[in-house]
Every structure is written in structure tokens, then in C-alpha cells.
Amino acid sequence: MKLNYNKEKGFTLIEAIVSLAIFAIAFSGLFLFFGMATLANNNTEKRMHLNLVANRIVESIAAESTRSDTDILNPFVTPTAYSGSLEDCTIYLPTDIRRTWCDSLNQKVGPEGSYADEERTITVVNDDTDLIVNVSLVVDGGSGANKLVSSFFTRKIRVPNRRTIPEGCVDRHNDMVAYIKSEKEKCDAGTVPFITVSRTTTTAGVLEYKLSCPDYIMSGSGFAEISGLPGNSILDPSYRTYLAMTFFQMHVLEKVWIKGDPSSTYWEGDTIYGTGYPWAAPGFGGAVAGNIWIAGPQETDAEICEDNPGINNMYLPNVKCHVTWPTKPIVNVFSCCPKDTDINSSGNSAEGFQDGTYKKCQLRPQVTPHHYIPYMGDGFDFTK
């Protein structure tokens, strides 16, 4: 009996070639669409980053507009401080907010490409009524000059409602006290390795002052220029004044006195109270309205704590005294924030008082209450 086996047949060479050709045609189409989808996804992510950066820029400028009317960093005062190009980050100092925006933009979407239509500009214009902010960000979309990714933000910022000048002075004092308290609490809790303040100089750039936590050993690029003895602890009685006179005073210097402008000098210009109320050197004489400073322990003790204890300090219950002077590192913040004007009721105008001007501050305001008011004073003991 003859068996009849069915023979299995395979693909011929021609069939295989035709199949590969069909697959190649189909795959090329899929590959093309995959590439387009990937590019579209990347550009969507770029546009998201552009929108985030542009919104951040506008919101930052709006926040800066709440600065005082005499602050040069208020965009209503100096709009050019916030305008410019973000193509080259190196044209701005590290302390310039535009450097931060530029670095962030490069980190998110990369540096500017070679296409003429790319743009990274900020324009801020004060039209005497409002602040007009325009942010234009146009970057390479990865597929030629005609496929750029863009984001355009524009906003009109109105002059913020201001608190009265005396209220602003009190707010500034309380903000400084809250800042020192927060920094001390973080340091004492061990949540940060050190706390830092800085100031901007024309010759050395940004100088940093650091206090390690919680031993309060001072160091940093700015410390040597002040003390010549870097690395000494403020808890050491020999260096007790360094915290008060160099560390937090540098914060006041940078944020209040020179407002980040390295060309300014100590006590330049007028206080928050405006013309006629110039900055005055620290001291407990008849301080003019708007002054704020960090007082050194020797001055605080001599004027408040040692001279008739309980009499002067009754007006400043929150001020810290050394008691066992001069072993404690003390930080005291003093401000002169009168809300009432001077009344020349005693007829002693020859003494320099003037009707209608804000009162001055004095440790013994009860002597002539129509001319003087007490200081605001708050302190911290860094041994506790």
C-alpha cells in the first residue's frame, strides 16, 4: 500500500521579498508618525515650561511692585531693572533677578538656538498710571525656523494700595524681628546646617556671612573683612559683638539701607518717611522717623540696661539685656516709627522742633511727650 503524504510548502524568495517590502512601507509610515508624535510631545513640554517661566516673571514683578515708593528695586521706580534680554545670562550679576529667570529658562528649554525669529525678552514700562509688563519667549521647536515654540504674556499692574507710612514702618520692624526669630529657631532646631546673610559690594561682589548651627560659629566670604578672625564662635565672650554688628546688620544693610545697590553707602538717602527724614547713624539720641538698626550690646546696655534699670526699659519690655554684661550674644532691633506729628506746645522751637513734622524717638519720651515718642525695640538672646 502506497502512502500519500501531504507536503508542507514554505515561502518562496519572491514572497519573502514582497512581504519585507510591504512591512518596510508600513513601518516607515509608523516611524514617521512616531517621530512627529515625539516632537509634538517635546514641544508641548517646552511650551508648558515657557508658560511657567513667563508667568513666574510676571508674578515676580507684581510682587516686587509692593516695595515702598522710595525703593529703587520697586519696578514702578526702576522698570529698567526688570527689562532686558534673557539670551545671555552672564550679562547679569548673580544677585540680579533676571539672572535667575535666564538660568531657569536655559535649564528648562536649553540655550537660545540659531534662528533669527527666536526671542527671549522682557519689557517693563511705567506709563505714569500702571506698569505694563510684556514677556515674549520664542524658542526652537526642533524642526526648522518655521516650527518655533512660543509663549507671550502681557499684564497691566496697577499701583498697589499702600498702607500709611507709619504702618509701613511698623511692618518693616516686625518683618525684621520675624526674620531673625525664624532664622534662630531653624538654627536651634538643627533643621539647617547654617544660616546665611549677604551684602553686595562693588569690589568683591556678593559677600556671605554664615553662622553654623547650633554652635553659632561665624564664617563666610564676608566675615574676614569685618573681623580678620574667621571661624570664631559668637558664644565666645571675646567675639560677642560679631553677631549683632556684622551678621544681621548685614541683612538690614542689604535689604533696607542700600537696597541691594552696591554703589550706595551707609545711611544714604531718606527713610520711608520721605524727604526731610534722612537716615541717621545708629544711636539713641533724637532719632528721626523711619530709622531702623541692629544695636550692638555695648550701646544697648549703656543706654537701656545699665542706666537706671527698669526706667528706660519700661518703654522697651522686649529688649534683651546682657545682665552679666558683656558675656551674652544679644541681637536687638530698634526702629523709630511715629504716627503723630510734632506739636510745639512748649514754645521751644529753638531746640529744633517743628510743628507738622513727625515726632522723633527718645528713650525718655515722657520728658517732652509732645515732641518725642518711645522707640520700638525687640531682642534675642542667642544663648537660649
User: 7 in a domain, yes or no?
Assistant: no
CB 74 within 8 A of CB 65: yes
- Is 221 in the same domain as 274? yes
CB 272 within 8 A of CB 70: yes
For 222, list phi and psi in degrees, rounded to 5: -95, -15
- Is 247 in the same domain as 336? yes
Q: Which residues face 360 on adjacent strands?
A: 372
DSSP code of residue 238: G
User: Does residue 326 have a cis bond before it (omega within 30 degrees)?
Assistant: yes
**Strand bridging mode 372-373 / 376-381:** unpaired
Provide the CA 19 distance to its chain's centre, in angstroms: 66
- Is 127 in the same domain as 112? yes
Q: Which domain holds residue 69?
A: 23-158
User: 221 in a domain, yes or no?
Assistant: yes
CB 216 within 8 A of CB 234: yes
Per-residue pLDDT of the chain (384 residues; tens, 9 = 90+): 555 555 555 567 676 676 777 766 665 655 555 555 565 667 778 888 888 888 889 988 988 887 877 778 889 888 999 999 999 999 998 888 899 899 988 888 888 877 888 899 999 998 877 899 999 998 887 666 567 888 898 999 888 766 788 988 998 999 899 999 998 998 888 888 888 888 888 888 788 888 888 877 777 777 766 655 545 666 666 665 556 567 888 888 888 887 777 777 767 778 888 888 888 776 777 788 999 988 866 677 777 776 555 556 677 888 887 655 555 678 889 999 999 888 765 555 545 566 778 988 888 777 777 788 889 999 888 877
Structure-block grid coordinates of residue 43: 514641544
User: 14 in a domain, yes or no?
Assistant: no
**Strand bridging mode 218-219 / 292-295:** unpaired
The H or E element spanning position 196 is strand 194-201
To the question of pTM greater than 0.85 for the whole model, the response is no
